[in-house]
Amino acid sequence: MTHPTVLVDVDWLRHRLDEVIVLDATVDRRTGPDGGKVWVGGLGLHTERRIPGAHFADLMTGFSDPSAPFSFTRPSTSAIEAHARELGIREGSTVVVYDRLTGAWAARVWWVLRTAGITGVHVLNGGLTAWEAAGLPVTDGREPAPARGDVVARPAREGFVDLARMKRIADGSDPTPAVCALRRPEYLGDPALPRSGHIPRTSNLPYADLLGPDNTLSAERTERLARSHGVRAGDGTVLYCGGAINAAGLALALHETGIDDVLLYDGSLGEWRADPALPLVTGPEDEETGRPAR
């Protein structure tokens, strides 16, 4: 079974529930003691309400490295293979991933799997929001554990850049364009807030701006916004955000328009802001100089 794009719609999925592996990549967003956002595993939400047949894909520990200093760091290829097999993924499986927020979490699972050479992975356009809006059934509890898969993860296409590469982009010695996928106010930052703002010489294309009704993506809208922001195929554009989640959503949206040579800065602002010696820009900037625009 093939599909010409990564995205599938709810009608496509409802006719194939018995033929595909459905994964719920939900992550739970809570308020921490300081009032900030805290992300925790979404198993509780998954068991409250899910698409029938869906298994829980653990993006906090299974498809991320829980021992890494920054959240949602890509794990080793062997760890990706192990969790994929736990979820019943076999060679040749068709997989559909969804979440209940904006689709960026599901896109992150897709991105991690493709960097390990695991193909046949799709994302449900609009996720659980679109599924329920279409009046389709949900259930609760957990599915019985699937038969262990046999998929083999292999080092595949380059998917990420590291801190050293990002430093070269920020100081202008690497001319690769880079784009922040955070909402505009987060990109601009606030001079009164320590370590807010964005990495020098990077522009802003918010993933949230691409979303339509029911958190769905459309290639037409993405094409228009990508064109207006100067994002083009062939440039090898680097995408980042707070933790390379919205960046994965943007990568998926761009993929659907044929821009498929982007890379993610995996550490994103979580890693960049942790080093007080690394510069951040608040407000709009001149991307040639990396200094605030005047």
3-state helix, strand, coil split of the chain in percent (to 5) is 30, 15, 55
Residue 255 tokens read as: 């993929």
23, 241, 253, 281: which is the annotated catalytic residue? 241
How far apart CA 160 and CA 165 sit, in angstroms, is 10
- The amino acid that residue 257 corresponds to is T
The C-alpha angle with vertex 59 and arms to 77 and 130, in degrees rounded to 5, equals 125
How far apart CA 119 and CA 121 sit, in angstroms, is 5
Whether residue 138 contacts residue 49, with contact meaning beta carbons closer than 8 Å, is answered with: yes
How far apart CA 49 and CA 100 sit, in angstroms, is 10
How far apart CA 294 and CA 284 sit, in angstroms, is 8
Whether residue 187 contacts residue 180, with contact meaning beta carbons closer than 8 Å, is answered with: yes
Whether residue 246 contacts residue 210, with contact meaning beta carbons closer than 8 Å, is answered with: no
Q: Which pairs from 151-154 meet CB under 8 Å and 24+ separation?
A: 151/81, 151/84, 151/85, 151/89, 151/90, 151/91, 151/93, 151/118, 152/81, 152/91, 152/117, 153/77, 153/78, 153/80, 153/81, 153/84, 153/116, 153/117, 153/118, 154/77, 154/116, 154/117
Residue 180: active-site member:
no
The residues assigned a catalytic role are 241
